[in-house]
Structure 1
Amino acid sequence: MRIALTQSEGRLAGLQERLEAMGLEVVRQPLIQTRTLQADLTPLSDCRWWLFTSVAAVRAVLELGGCLKGRALGAVGQATRQVLEEAGGKVELVAPEETAESLAEAFLALRPFGYVGLPQGNRARPVLAQRLREAGYVVQSAVVYQTQTRPWPTDLPAPDLVLLTSPSGVEALPETVGRQAHLLALGPTTAMALSERVLPYTLVPRPSVEAVLETIERIRGERCPA
C-alpha cells in the first residue's frame, strides 16, 4: 500500500518512519509552500509572549530580523519547539496537539501575564486570537508569511492513500487523485474542505501521529478482514 504525505515540513514528526515500519510505501509530496513576506514586526515588539503555530512562522520571523531572546515563547508541536530553541529562544509552553485550539487551551490553563504576539501566515484561522481576546488578553498579530499551493507531479505513482492536513492542501489536490485514492482528513477543517469539493474521506480524529496510524490500521483491517 502506497501513501502520499502532503503536510508541510515539521508537521507530524516521525510519521514517515512509523508508516514504513508498518510496511507502507511512503511518498512525500507537500502540497503547500511558504514565502516570507516583507512584514513589519513592530506590532509584536511590546508583547511579552510570542506564540508560534508553525515552523514556517518561526523561520519567517527570523528572516525578518526578529529577536527571540527575552521573550516567553509558546509552540505548537515539537518541531516548532525545536526550531525555536535552535534559534536561541526559550520555549515555556508546548501545545500537546498540533492545532491552534490546543495552543490556546494550554496557554489559558497556564494563565500567564503580558501581551501576546501572534506571528502568522496569511491563511491563519482566527481561532487562537479570538480565544485569547475572549479571555481578556491583548493580542497583536503580524502576517509574516504567505502560503502557496504546489502542483501535483504528473509522474508521481498513484497512491492508495493520501493524507491531507489543511484546507490549502485540499485546494491543491487534483480531482483525479482525489477520486482514485482513499483520502485521510486531519481534523474537521480539512474534512470540511473535502466535503465542499464533494470528495469522500476518512476523518483522522486527532492531529497526531498515533491517530493517523490508528486510522490507517482500521482501513487496512476493513480491506483485508481476518
Structure 2
Amino acid sequence: MKLVAVTTSADRVAAATIPFKMLGLGVVPLPCIAVEPVADDLLGLVRESAAVADLIVISSRRTIDILWPDGDLPACDFAAVGPVTARAVTERGGEVIRVGRAGAAELARSLQMVVSGRTVIWPHARGADPQPIELISKAAAVFAGPVIYGSVPQPPGVDEVDVVTFASPSAVAGWQLSRELAPETIAVIGDTTRRAVEEAGCSPAVVAPEPTFQSLAESVAEYLGAAA
C-alpha cells in the first residue's frame, strides 16, 4: 500500500486524513505547521470592523474558529472559498451569497460586481495570495484585509512515505526543515501552494481541482491508480 503524508497543522490533521482513509489510502499524519493567531486586542478590532461590514469574505473554517469561537457571526452577507468553508458559515447561521469552488482567485473575480458600493472585510492568514485580496480592495467602496493568524513552519516526523500532500506554502516550508521534497510524489491544493513547490525546485504531480482535502484525496487516489 502506498503511504500518503498529510502535512496540515496538528489541530486539523486528524480531520484532514479522513477523505484519504475513506478512499482506502494509507495515511501518515506529518504536521508541518503550527497556527498562531494575532493578539486578542487585534482580533477584537477585526470583529468590530466585521460587525459593520456588508460582506465578509472567508477563506477557511479556521478564520471562523479564530474570530467567532462562540459561533455568533455578524448579521451580514458572506462569501466563502470552497464548499467546506461555506458549510462552516451556514452551520453557524451565516448567509452565504457566493462560493468560490476553484479557489480564492475565482471567488474574487466573481465578486467584483457584487462588492461595488459595499463595505467588505477579508480576514486572512499571513502569506495569503495577495492578488485576489487586491482585486476586491479595488472593487469595494470600503475594504479591510486584516491578517488574523500566521502559519509557522514546523519540521515533520521522519516516517517513510510515497506521496506528500501540501495545502499551504507554510507546509512546504515546514517539510523542508527536516526533509527533502524528492523523491516523494508531491500533491497540492491551489496555485499558491503549487508555486511554493515550484520555487523549491520541484513540480507537483497532482494539483487538486478544488481547494478541499476531499478533492486532494480523490486526485491522489486517481493518480496512484493510474500510476499503478
Structure 2 counterparts to residues 122-137 of structure 1, below 5 A: 122-137=126-141
Q: Which amino acid aligns with 1:166?
A: S
Aligned to 1:172: 174
| CA distance in structure 2 between the partners assigned to 1:136 and 1:71 by the alignment | 15
Q: Which of 34, 46, 53 matches 2:52?
A: 46
Consecutive unaligned residues in structure 2, runs of 5 or more = none
User: What is aligned with 1:148?
Assistant: 152
Distance 1:58 1:29 in 2: 24
- When normalised by structure 1's length, the TM-score is 0.79
User: Any idea what the Cα deviations from partners look like across 1:81-109, whole Å, max 9, x if unmatched?
Assistant: 33333433333332223x21122133236
Q: Identity of counterpart residues, as a percentage?
A: 22
Q: Determine the C-alpha separation between the residues in 2 that align with 1:210 and 1:81.
A: 16
Q: 1:73 touches 1:89 (CA, 8 Å); kept in 2?
A: yes
> What do the CA deviations read for 1:161-196 (whole angstroms, capped 9, x no partner)?
011122111101136342231111333322221222
- Report the equivalent of 1:56: 62
Amino acid at match of 1:47: A
Residue in 2 that maps onto 1:87: 92
Q: Deviations over 1:110-137 (max 9, x none)?
A: 5675211111122222222221234354
- Alpha-carbon distance in 2 for matches of 1:122, 1:210: 24
Q: Which of 134, 137, 143 is the matching residue for 1:139?
A: 143
- Secondary structure of the residue aligned to 1:178 is coil
- Structure 1 counterpart of 2:79, which letter? G
Task: Report how many aligned residue pairs link the two structures.
Answer: 217
Q: In 2, are the aligned partners of 1:44 and 1:140 still within 8 Å (CA)? A: no
The residue identity in structure 2 corresponding to 1:77 is G
CA–CA distance in 2 between the matches of 1:214 and 1:66? 32
Q: Indicate if the aligned counterparts of 1:194 and 1:201 stay in contact, CA closer than 8 A.
A: yes
Please provide the CA RMSD for this pair: 3.0
Length-normalised TM-score, structure 2: 0.78
CA contact (8 A) 1:164 1:190 kept: yes
Alignment partners' CA distance in 1, 2:86 and 2:149:
18
Equivalent residue letter for 1:180 = P
Which letter does structure 2 place at the counterpart of 1:167? P
